[in-house]
């Protein structure tokens, strides 16, 4: 570990999560969340609750810093933002990585890298990295691009220009960092799930299983990772001088996060949501309305996420001059996939430095559920170039591999164009989008972000699918073993992680992105569990 990665003496939490670490001693586990600053307390923002006030100045050099990095929850050292300070095995050269990292600017970073005199020394050109995407045309390999009506083109250009501009403006990232700390409660803890791990061990043929760690995005304000993206895009909205935002939502988490950002910034907010999702995610509909948003129920097609996205795009076609469309995942036309990934990549940066601190190394595997793919891209991105870390994306297997019975775009789809980019899509031979199904509204989508398609074809990420039944089992399992009710989306990742843990020796570690909490799902999950027990009776 580099110096920056060692615990800071001035941190009140320094001895907490940092101390027990490696295989996750029982004692420190509960302290991590408890050490969080009170979420949503604006007063916190000005306080040195980051437990590393001095870092504040150093850690965000302009464009390179992508976001907040301190980890009130898990000790100070988890790092300076973008560049997983202290996290790298290349120790002293962290700042170089910073150039390329944090979220923002691929182009900018390339430019500033070029001007770094240290780069003049090694004559050998570096091989291109898998993380160096998209290109200037918004392409992740052959995927991505901008397949939209001309009407939207100028808005995409404006968004791209604004984003490129803020990429080199430290104030933007400072503002975002402050919000993520004081309003969202970042960083989120990395929590060792002891009893879940014990369950996996009890099931394992060898009696062994890897330790399962949970990256607690459910503890972020509003209860899911979606807020990381909406606050970033709301800041962009303000820069562009727009006063209204629209959003699509499936599970309602992105809708709630958008409505929350709108309330915070004083924007008008309309959220499109399929009628079927309005039914099964009622709690979030109520929350959005309380937050001052208008929820527009979409009755067309399958009345789920794809149809809500169509309606949001149609709204934008007519409102584009004064409205920003906050897309909720790493999907859509360029530059959305890159922007959303960058804003979500805080998850992976924190995870990595937490792992280096708590595990003294990188995990064997990182597992995340994939709807559009934003929580997965967010946690994977910082590990993409660490090829010894297995990355596993878990799609919705629904009722199994029958047409219309699942939403496993990467596992069962083919390259196609949907909602503005080329990516894997579930479609027929003529490019008509297929019907999909998942018990989880947030995964019930026939497309996926183009970067995932790129990672799939590059063989970097393994994509698999988990059925409704397996997800429901994981939902109840986590609740009863750990006292955490996960979102149904997240339950897919948990189901896979419990299986995977059993195939790994006990000195290995798996990190699961616990993308959201399950309050929104308690009614629907109870209904599905009751249906299931009636059937088996």
Partner 1 sequence: MNRVANNFFELSALSEPALMPFVCGGFPRPGATAQLLPALERAGAKFVEVGIPFSDPVADGPVIAAAMHEALQNGATPASVFDEVRSIREQSRLAIIAMVSYSIVHRMGGPAAFCTKAKEAGFDGLIVPDIPFDESTELQAECKKLDLSLSLLIAPTTLVDRAIAIAKACTGFVYLLARTGITGESGGMPEVASRVQRLKEHTDLPIAVGFGISTPEHVKAVVSQGADAAIVGSALVRRMRDALANRRDPIAEAESFTRELSRGLVHVG
Catalytic residue among 226, 242, 303, 520: 226
Choose which of 391, 487, 498, 500 interacts with ligand PLP (CB under 6 A).
487
Q: Tell me which of partner 1, ligand PLP, none is bound by residue 317, counting a contact when its beta carbon lies within the kind-specific cut-off of 5 to 8 angstroms.
A: partner 1
Q: Tell me which of ligand PLP, partner 1, none is bound by residue 369, counting a contact when its beta carbon lies within the kind-specific cut-off of 5 to 8 angstroms.
A: ligand PLP
| Residue 153 makes contact with partner 1 by CB under 8 A | yes
Question: What span, in angstroms and rounded, lies between the C-alpha atoms of 39 and 164?
Answer: 30
Residue 218, classed as helix, strand or coil, is: helix
Query: 489, 217 in Cβ contact below 8 A?
Result: no
Site string for ligand PLP, 501-520 (x = CB under 6 A): --------------xx----
Catalytic residue among 108, 248, 489, 499: 248
Burial of 519 (0-12, 13-18, 19+ CB in 10 A): middle
Site string for partner 1, 421-450 (x = CB under 8 A): -x----x-xxxxx-----------------
Choose which of 370, 389, 396, 485 interacts with ligand PLP (CB under 6 A).
370
CA angle 467, 194, 482 (to 5 degrees): 60
Instruction: Give me the least distance between CB of 367 and ligand PLP, in Å please.
Output: 13
Interface region with ligand PLP, contact rule CB under 6 A, candidates 155-163, 187-195, 354-362, 364-372: 364-372
User: For 235-255, what is the HEC assignment?
Assistant: HHHHHCCCCEEEEEECCCHHH
Question: What span, in angstroms and rounded, lies between the C-alpha atoms of 346 and 513?
Answer: 12
Of 262-301, binders to partner 1 (CB under 8 A) are: 300-301
| Residue 464 makes contact with ligand PLP by CB under 6 A | no
Interface region with partner 1, contact rule CB under 8 A, candidates 150-158, 170-178, 240-248, 497-505: 150-158
Q: Which is nearer to ligand PLP, 13 or 490 (CB)?
A: 490
CA angle 269, 181, 482 (to 5 degrees): 95
Q: In the structure encoding, which two tokens stand for residue 523, read together? A: 């009614």
Q: Has 142 been annotated as catalytic?
A: no
| Residue 417 makes contact with partner 1 by CB under 8 A | yes
Question: What span, in angstroms and rounded, lies between the C-alpha atoms of 451 and 465?
Answer: 18
Q: Which is nearer to ligand PLP, 29 or 407 (CB)?
A: 407
Of 226-265, binders to ligand PLP (CB under 6 A) are: 250-251, 253-254
Closest alpha carbon to 217 in 374, 23, 419, 91: 374
User: For 395-458, what is the HEC assignment?
Assistant: EEEECCCCCCCCECHHHHCEEEEECCEEEEECECCCCCECCCCCCCCCCCCCCCCHHHHHHHHC
Q: Has 226 been annotated as catalytic?
A: yes
Q: Has 311 been annotated as catalytic?
A: no
Closest alpha carbon to 185 in 214, 228, 235: 228
| Residue 224 makes contact with ligand PLP by CB under 6 A | yes
- 149-171 residues labelled b (16+ CB within 10 A) or e (exposed): eeebeebbebbbebbbebbbeee
Classify strands 143-144 and 139-140 as parallel, antiparallel or unpaired: antiparallel
| Residue 274 makes contact with ligand PLP by CB under 6 A | no
| Residue 329 makes contact with ligand PLP by CB under 6 A | yes
Provide the strand spans (E) within 145-200. 190-192
Contact footprint for ligand PLP (CB under 6 A): 224, 250-251, 253-254, 329, 369-376, 442-443, 487, 489-490, 515-516
Catalytic residue list: 226, 248, 515
Contact footprint for partner 1 (CB under 8 A): 137, 145-155, 300-301, 306, 310, 313-314, 317-318, 320-321, 414-419, 422, 427, 429-433
């Amino acid at each position: 570990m580099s110096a920056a990665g060692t615990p800071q003496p001035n941190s009140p939490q320094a001895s907490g999560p940092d101390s027990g670490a490696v295989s996750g001693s029982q004692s420190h586990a509960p302290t991590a969340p408890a050490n969080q600053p009170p979420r949503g307390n604006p007063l916190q923002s000005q306080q040195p609750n980051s437990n590393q006030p001095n870092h504040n100045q150093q850690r965000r050099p302009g464009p390179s810093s992508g976001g907040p990095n301190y980890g009130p929850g898990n000790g100070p050292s988890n790092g300076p933002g973008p560049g997983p300070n202290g996290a790298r095995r290349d120790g002293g050269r962290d700042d170089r990585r910073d150039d390329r990292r944090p979220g923002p600017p691929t182009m900018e970073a390339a430019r500033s890298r070029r001007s770094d005199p240290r780069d003049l020394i090694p004559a050998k050109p570096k091989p291109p990295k898998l993380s160096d995407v998209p290109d200037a045309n918004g392409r992740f390999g052959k995927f991505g691009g901008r397949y939209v009506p001309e009407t939207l083109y100028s808005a995409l250009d404006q968004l791209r220009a604004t984003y490129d501009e803020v990429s080199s403006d430290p104030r933007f990232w400072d503002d975002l960092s402050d919000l993520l700390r004081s309003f969202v409660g970042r960083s989120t803890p990395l929590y060792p799930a002891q009893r879940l791990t014990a369950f996996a061990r009890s099931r394992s043929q060898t009696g062994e299983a890897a330790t399962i760690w949970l990256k607690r995005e459910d503890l972020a304000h509003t209860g899911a990772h979606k807020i990381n993206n909406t606050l970033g895009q709301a800041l962009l909205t303000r820069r562009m001088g727009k006063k209204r935002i629209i959003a699509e939502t499936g599970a309602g988490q992105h809708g709630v996060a958008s409505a929350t950002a709108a309330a915070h910034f004083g924007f008008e907010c309309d959220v499109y949501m399929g009628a079927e999702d309005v039914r099964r995610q009622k709690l979030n509909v109520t929350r959005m309305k309380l937050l001052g948003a208008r929820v527009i129920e979409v009755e067309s097609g399958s009345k789920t996420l794809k149809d809500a996205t169509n309606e949001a795009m149609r709204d934008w076609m007519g409102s584009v001059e004064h409205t920003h469309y906050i897309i909720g995942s790493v999907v859509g036309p360029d530059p959305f996939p890159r922007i959303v990934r960058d804003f979500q990549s805080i998850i992976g940066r924190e995870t990595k430095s937490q792992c280096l601190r708590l595990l003294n190394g990188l995990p064997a595997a990182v597992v995340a559920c994939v709807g559009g793919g934003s929580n997965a891209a967010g946690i994977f991105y910082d590990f993409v170039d660490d090829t010894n870390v297995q990355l596993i994306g878990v799609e919705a297997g629904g009722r199994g591999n029958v047409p219309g019975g699942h939403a496993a775009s990467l596992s069962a789809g083919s390259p196609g164009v949907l909602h503005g980019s080329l990516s894997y899509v579930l479609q027929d031979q003529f490019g008509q989008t297929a019907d999909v199904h998942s018990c989880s509204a947030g995964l019930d989508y026939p497309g996926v972000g183009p970067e995932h398609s790129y990672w799939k074809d590059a063989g970097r990420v393994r994509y698999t699918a988990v059925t409704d039944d397996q997800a429901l089992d994981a939902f109840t399992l986590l609740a009863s073993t750990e006292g955490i009710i996960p979102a149904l989306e997240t339950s897919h990742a948990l189901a896979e992680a419990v299986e995977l843990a059993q195939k790994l020796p006990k000195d290995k570690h798996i990190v699961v992105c616990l993308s959201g909490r399950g309050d929104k799902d308690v009614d629907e999950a109870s209904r599905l569990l009751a249906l299931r027990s009636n059937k088996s009776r």
